[in-house]
Structure 1
Amino acid sequence: MTDTSFSSLNLPTSMLSNLSDLGYNEMTPIQAQSLPFALEGKDLIAKAKTGSGKTAAFAIGLLLNLNQRDFGTQALVLCPTRELSTQVAKEIRRLARFKNNIKVVTLSGGQPVGPQIGSLEHGAHIIVGTPGRIQDLIRKGKLHLERCTTVVLDEADRMLDMGFYEQIEGIIDYTPKKRQTLLFSATYPEGIQKLSADLQTDPIEVTVESLHNTSQIEQIFYPLERTKKPEALSRLLSHHQPESAVIFCNTKDQCREVSDHLRNEGYFAAALHGDLDQRERDQVLVQFSNRSNTILIATDVAARGLDIDDLEVVINYDLPRDPEIYIHRIGRTGRAGKEGLALSIYRDSEDYKLEAISEYQSLSLHTESLSSLKKISSEEPTKPAMRTLCIAGGRKDKIRPGDILGAMTGEAGIEGSVVGKIDIYDFVAYVAVQRDQARKAHGRLINGKIKGRRFKVRIL
């Protein structure tokens, strides 16, 4: 049996101790297969999905190669979205705790460029960000990559889907010819092979079977018959009554239409698509992940990098053309040994998509009639358990979760048990509070102080 302990990799004791503290007990399949090659400095092309542990698969070797005294950029991680960039940078910082004074800077669009330029002026060991913003800062002469010896392309297939091929090539032209290039992708379209051929030298290919074990996921397909799509969706939600559901659409226009339809029916739903500005996007994600919204409607690209625990149901409002994308979608439910539910509605003209999905999984698909679902209740949909308070102060104001918690739960305040997830960004913070306690918590914050200061607070 292969040794999947991190100690089998001949890592420094300080790193092993930190990995243990972070709960990294055994290597995931992608870590076990890729880390030995990454640590040898080889180029790598790895097939791995979100949630597979791939950040540690590239970050461990990247961190070991850093010269702490050199504040020039030595490693670059390119990601398709700001959310994934933030998530990856956060995990790299945790993994870097075994070394002192490692600086990780996130550079992504949708945020003011000034503070990012300010961060770069003090130097950075590792840059994590999106291709557009990074290319922009290189052109402005604010980011220099001549000492960058490791480049990681994370979720490379999504970056290609979003049209970043030329930006990626342009950015990598500024790095040394002699470097290590690690490419991670959930799928292997033709563009990935071309990208690898253009940027890598004799890459080792690593493929790990999907961690999304579809045997844990009940899949039901509903033919539309004479039913219209919006009505079919309402029936599904009324019958199954999920506490959390992601609905996938193929276009952002469809996302908006579905969101409008569900909100008119009384559901707490929000759409995630490319036309939202960054603050709107953050608010949609925060409110869904902290249980203030029940339903998230998204396109595949917009949902990339989402990491949501305990997602009860995935609904395919539109079936994707590619069966691999279907598997990736439904793999967001039924995680960590729990059972999940994937519901799909389709027209007769889409039978070919069902055949492809069936063949891809080597599985007979289960279909049911929409008429078998109980009639839509006249009752209002259940309200989410939480509401979100938005505080006009964040990380740059030195606010920490404990400061917010203390301000709400101090003398004659609310019970700590009614406070949920706290998310802190550079200039804003969000805190989830049980719905029936939200107004009291809001009053505490607007009439009190956080770290000796008053901040504007509103209920979303």
Structure 2
Amino acid sequence: MNFESFCFDSRIASGIRATGYSAPTSVQVKAIPAVLEGCDVFGLTQSGTGKTSAFVLPILQRLITAEAPTRGPIRVLVLAPAREQVLKIHEKFISLGKQTGIRCSAVFGDGDAESGIQIKLKEISRVTVLVATPDRLLELINRAEVDLSHVDTLVVDEADTQLAMDFSVEIKSILAKLPLKRQNLMFSATLPSSVSTLSAEILHDPKIFQIANTAPVETVKHICCPVPIHLKQEFLKALLEDIEFESVLVFVRTRRWAERLAARLVKAGYNAVSLHGDLSQSKRKIVLDGFKSGEFNIMVATDLAASSLECSSITHVINYDMPDTFEIYRHRMEKAGIDGKKGVAFLFAADEDIAQVVEIGKLVEGRLSVHHLDNFDYKGAKPEPVLPEVVKKKERSKPGRAKKGNKRHIHSGKGSV
């Protein structure tokens, strides 16, 4: 099947060609016809499956078919959990709908409830599609600065993440402001009871489909590196010297550590940069463009900030901080296996992380090996062996050094309106 099978308007077809799409993914094959028919939809699918385009394309088509005004009122409302997801969806509407004239804007927070709304309020009345985080949108609703009375399509994306972030109250408050007659689309990576309950409240006789994508990426090699917590920074630099890479994505838990670690890598001579939720939109664009172009070959990021990152040059993912769940680990390591390319996922593990290492080892079906650096000074403390039942073999250090480049680091900054 190809995209011509959906008979999209020529203006949308132009956007599809411009983005380089060749054939629809499984989720697009299932979702697009259902959305075009006007049905409610529930999709159980992971990120990275083409899910965003699966609802953006048919929504654009329905707006064109209905001859909806291109400059308001708001006809389509998309709820997403955080700024990164909001921006990704917003950018997809802009790129795919470039020739349609349909206007889309984004509302999201930037840490400050008053100054963090990233949209000029006067523009809201002139857009047809609004993508927003529930908390910031509810602020606008409570201040009577947004009119949702004309919304006829609602999308709740990453529903499980939104509910895990305790947005259930905000979502229900927003639902109360929408017309009862509307098309509802919901997407979720998992199906906890909270998502089932919300879907029952929102969806009416929905088309339901599931795209299996829960197995670990087969092209990614999983390696555990036992290292004491106080030596992780030095170990990271030693590891970067030991491997040959094109681009490396390093995951940490907090914004502060993303900045600090990136700065220390820059000081060591690497082209490193940090990505986190406190970067302004302009600095985020500089960081992402620089990483994708190769200007920066090491990115230190938080999970949420990097959730929508897609960069085919990533050859290695380093779990500097242990992921809290296997689902987080899976999302991280998939960044090194985009488009079926081979990659490596390193997992830094201290003594207290053994239980999580065991669990990850089981879930990657025993494909977790252990790696010790021959040239690294463990300060006389021999690393505790990773439990043999979760590792396949012991990896020894390999020759080869990564290329270094000019020092450059984009520091954090507060967003502005």
TM-score (norm 2): 0.79
Amino acid at match of 2:33: P
Per the alignment, residue 329 of structure 1 pairs with 332
Say if 2:118 is the partner of 1:118.
no
The alignment partner of 1:24 has SS state of coil
What are the superposed Cα offsets for residues 184-219 of structure 1, whole Å, 9 maximum, x if unpaired?
233444443333233323433322133986221122
The alignment partner of 1:296 has SS state of strand
Per the alignment, residue 215 of structure 1 pairs with 218
Report if the CA contact (8 A) 1:156-1:192 is conserved: yes
Distance 1:24 1:364, change over 3 A: closer
Report if the CA contact (8 A) 1:80-1:155 is conserved: yes
Per the alignment, residue 262 of structure 1 pairs with 265
How much does 1:222 deviate? 1.5
What are the superposed Cα offsets for residues 362-413 of structure 1, whole Å, 9 maximum, x if unpaired?
3432222233436998xx971159999xxxxxxxxxxxxxxxxxxxxxxxxx
Distance 1:293 1:20 in 2: 29
Amino acid at match of 2:122: G
Distance 2:117 2:357 in 1: 45
Say if 2:379 is the partner of 1:382.
no
Distance 1:165 1:220 in 2: 38
Per the alignment, residue 172 of structure 2 pairs with 169
Distance 2:336 2:173 in 1: 37
Report if the CA contact (8 A) 2:318-2:346 is conserved: yes
Per the alignment, residue 81 of structure 2 pairs with 80
Cα RMSD over matched residues? 3.4
> Identity, % of aligned pairs?
30
The alignment partner of 2:218 has SS state of helix
- Aligned equivalent of 2:30, options 30, 33, 41: 33
Per the alignment, residue 5 of structure 1 pairs with 2
Distance 1:308 1:224, change over 3 A: same
Counterparts of 1:293-442 in structure 2 under 5 Å?
293-371=296-374, 372-373=396-397, 382-383=404-405
- Aligned equivalent of 2:21, options 20, 24, 28: 24
Distance 2:355 2:176 in 1: 42
Distance 1:278 1:114 in 2: 9
How much does 1:144 deviate? 0.9
Distance 1:355 1:113 in 2: 42
How much does 1:6 deviate? 3.1
How much does 1:8 deviate? 3.8
Distance 1:247 1:189, change over 3 A: farther
What are the superposed Cα offsets for residues 317-359 of structure 1, whole Å, 9 maximum, x if unpaired?
1221321221111111122232112111112332332332233
Report if the CA contact (8 A) 2:105-2:130 is conserved: yes
What are the superposed Cα offsets for residues 246-275 of structure 1, whole Å, 9 maximum, x if unpaired?
111233444344334434433332333345
- Aligned equivalent of 1:249, options 239, 248, 252: 252
Per the alignment, residue 148 of structure 2 pairs with 145
How much does 1:233 deviate? 1.4
The alignment partner of 1:300 has SS state of coil
Distance 1:202 1:275, change over 3 A: same
Per the alignment, residue 54 of structure 2 pairs with 57
Q: Which moved more, 1:161-170 or 1:330-339?
A: 161-170
Per the alignment, residue 45 of structure 1 pairs with 42
Per the alignment, residue 400 of structure 1 pairs with none
Distance 1:231 1:192 in 2: 42
Identify unmatched segments of 5+ residues in structure 2. 375-395
What are the superposed Cα offsets for residues 101-144 of structure 1, whole Å, 9 maximum, x if unpaired?
322222333477596212224x2211123223322222232311
Distance 2:49 2:93 in 1: 15
The alignment partner of 1:345 has SS state of strand
Distance 1:212 1:277 in 2: 35
Amino acid at match of 2:86: S
Counterparts of 1:163-202 in structure 2 under 5 Å?
163-202=166-205
Q: Which moved more, 1:226-235 or 1:47-56?
A: 226-235
